[in-house]
Structure 1
């Protein structure tokens, strides 16, 4: 089981022909069967770059049930 939760209000990602995504930065919190202590977060920038981030404890609690 893998759970994924995105930033509030971002229900989809649309890429432009330039490789950027429409809208604003979006954060993802991922959790798997190993539980909340192993949760991770990723941020997708408007330019289309993906990077690691420290997971927010409230998002981890909501994602890793």
Structure 2
């Protein structure tokens, strides 16, 4: 995660909000299917919020192809 966060500014890429989720799963903190469902729902809600906010601001998010 540190390498990723260090390279993002150098490569001009957007910050992925999934590092904490990856860490939570890797550490084994999710012990029941219900906990996993809550995390999955939270991820879906964050993606929808990101889409809505960026579209309302007129920003092309996510970038599916290079700008011409």
Q: Is the TM-score greater than 0.5?
A: no
Structure with the bigger percentage of strand: 1
Greater relative contact order (Cα < 8 A, sep 6+): 1
Q: TM-score, normalised by structure 2?
A: 0.25
Structure with the bigger percentage of helix: 2
